[in-house]
Amino acid sequence: MSKATRRHTALLAIGMLCAGAAAPAHAQSDLAQAYRIIAGKKFVDLTHSFGPETPVWAGFGQAKFSPAADPKTGEPYTIAKDEFRATYYQMVGQYGTHVDPPAHFDEHGMTMDQIPLKQMILPLVVLDDTPYLGKDPDHAFSVTDLKAWERRHGRVPQGAFAALRTDMDKDWQANPERFKRSPFPAWAFATIKYLYEQRGVTATGHESMDTDTTDKMDSETYILQHGHYQIEVMANLDKVPATGAIIVVTWPKVENGLGFPARAFAILP
């Protein structure tokens, strides 16, 4: 079996698993084979850890973490006293590496619990903005840049997740004030439209806290109001090849959820 066929089998089998599809006996064998293939691959975490001091949009404010307490007594639970402990989290949904579902910007859009499972595991392409940042630190990745990328790596496949590498993630912990700067490198609006309309991608993601290089929010508005989700504040895209990887993105199934921290990782070819 060729490398491409093995990867296709693995992706198909995982998709069936995520979709909860019933499978005949021979497909069960395919699924077992897919797992053996995947288990031998390298996984890359595309998610930042976050805490009360990590960067967030000023309009939301910092998270607050505190020990969970007995509501009757107000006493925090401890292992010594109660044989368990837990944490109370107070934060906005758009915190750390997170998902923006369509309903975040669209009153009638899908909430995060309505996004199809099959959209949570996709072929991954990583578009690299870093070659342009030496001359333009806040470069907006353009359609011209995209076409240059495709000449080197091939056409962006339909149904893919397109992630934009800018290496902003290096400032997440090392220099959080720089990470929060504006403007910053991100997408050009024309590129977002091109990816969805001409290449048929399913979703997009990036390392910054916002989609656009400016505060106009044209790209984010377009994505969400056209029924797509995005992942913001991604990490480690420099550790993923331009093509050939698979992305898995998960988030809690919050009823009517408008956004929440997500866990994303790549399975390398």
| pLDDT value of residue 35 | 95
pLDDT, tens only, 124-170:
999 999 999 999 999 999 999 999 999 999 999 999 999 999 999 99
Per the omega criterion (within 30 degrees of 0), is the bond before 183 cis?
Answer: yes
pLDDT, tens only, 170-182:
999 999 999 999 9
| Separation between Cα atoms, residue 159 and residue 8, nearest integer Å | 14
DSSP 3-state of 196: helix
- pLDDT of 266 > 80? The answer is yes
Let me know: does 134 contact 182? Beta carbons within 8 Å.
Answer: no
- pLDDT of 2 > 90? The answer is no
Tokens at residue 86, please?
């837990």
User: Cβ neighbours of residue 114 under 8 Å, at least 6 residues apart?
Assistant: 101
Helix (H) or strand (E) holding 12: helix 3-19
Report which of 209, 235, 181, 248 is spatially closest to residue 49, judged by C-alpha positions.
Answer: 235
Tokens at residue 155, please?
């056409």
Give the model's confidence band at 26: pLDDT under 50 very low, under 70 low, under 90 confident, else very high: low
Q: Any idea where the domains of the chain sit in the sequence?
A: 1-40, 42-53+94-267, 62-91
DSSP 3-state of 224: helix
| pLDDT value of residue 48 | 98
Helix (H) or strand (E) holding 192: helix 189-197
What is the model's pTM?
Answer: 0.89
Percent of the chain residues topping a pLDDT of 70? 90
Q: Mean pLDDT across the stretch 58-72?
A: 97
Helix (H) or strand (E) holding 43: strand 43-45
- pLDDT of 12 > 70? The answer is no
| Separation between Cα atoms, residue 49 and residue 55, nearest integer Å | 11
| Separation between Cα atoms, residue 224 and residue 100, nearest integer Å | 8
Tokens at residue 8, please?
């296709």
Superfamily of segment(s) 42-53+94-267: Putative cyclase (3.50.30.50)
Give the model's confidence band at 7: pLDDT under 50 very low, under 70 low, under 90 confident, else very high: low
User: Cβ neighbours of residue 101 under 8 Å, at least 6 residues apart?
Assistant: 109, 110, 111, 112, 114, 115, 224, 229, 257, 258, 259
| Separation between Cα atoms, residue 185 and residue 137, nearest integer Å | 7
Give the model's confidence band at 47: pLDDT under 50 very low, under 70 low, under 90 confident, else very high: very high
Q: Mean pLDDT across the stretch 100-122?
A: 98
Give the model's confidence band at 24: pLDDT under 50 very low, under 70 low, under 90 confident, else very high: low
Q: Average per-residue pLDDT in the chain?
A: 93
Note the Cα 269 to chain centre separation in Å.
19
Let me know: does 110 contact 84? Beta carbons within 8 Å.
Answer: no
Report which of 266, 262, 189 is spatially closest to residue 226, judged by C-alpha positions.
Answer: 189
Give the model's confidence band at 4: pLDDT under 50 very low, under 70 low, under 90 confident, else very high: low
pLDDT, tens only, 189-247:
999 999 999 999 999 999 999 999 878 899 999 999 999 999 999 999 999 999 999 99
Percent of the chain residues topping a pLDDT of 90? 88
Q: Mean pLDDT across the stretch 38-54?
A: 97
DSSP 3-state of 230: strand
Q: Mean pLDDT across the stretch 57-63?
A: 95
- pLDDT of 91 > 60? The answer is yes
Q: What pairs with residue 181 in β-bridges?
A: none
- pLDDT of 31 > 60? The answer is yes
